[in-house]
Structure 1
Amino acid sequence: MITLNVIPLLEKQGHTKYWLYKQLGMSYQNFTKMINNQTKSIRYENIEALCQLLECTPNELFLFDDTK
């Protein structure tokens, strides 16, 4: 299973989920689903924005757990 690693990256940067939500400009419903790993897809533009805002690479943004 692939999941987003956003919360630890936010904490590392000293930012909140609210800060990220405002920066991305997404609807709150879509943002919450994405952050809580409740979505089946993420647009490339959102991946790029997350990487730029969190100063990370896609490899750091996603976690792969093959036990699920």
Structure 2
Amino acid sequence: MISFILDKILDDKELTRYWLSKQTGIDANTIDKIYKNTAKQIQLETLDKIIKAMDCKLSDILEYK
């Protein structure tokens, strides 16, 4: 199963969901669903924007269990 672990990197970098939404232009509700790991699907473009804004790797945002 694939899980979102966006909460960990945001906490590590001491950044907020609001900051990420403003930096990426992604709707705050979408960021919230990813943060809470309740999103059922995600656009590749959304992942790309998050990775660029957070200056991280895909493995910092997604986890395969």
**What is the SS of the residue equivalent to 1:63?**
strand
**What is the SS of the residue equivalent to 2:39?**
coil
Runs of 4+ more than 3 Å apart: none
**What is the SS of the residue equivalent to 1:39?**
coil
Q: What is the deviation of 1:48?
A: 0.9
Amino acid at match of 1:20: L
The alignment covers a number of residue pairs equal to 65
Percent identity over paired residues: 25
Equivalent residue, structure 2, for 1:29: 29
Q: Unaligned stretches of 5+ in structure 2?
A: none
TM-score of the aligned structures, taking structure 2 as reference length: 0.78
Report the Cα distance in structure 2 between the residues aligned to 1:27 and 1:55, rounded to whole angstroms. Answer: 19
Higher Rg of the two aligned structures:
1
Equivalent residue, structure 2, for 1:6: 6
Q: Unaligned stretches of 5+ in structure 1?
A: none
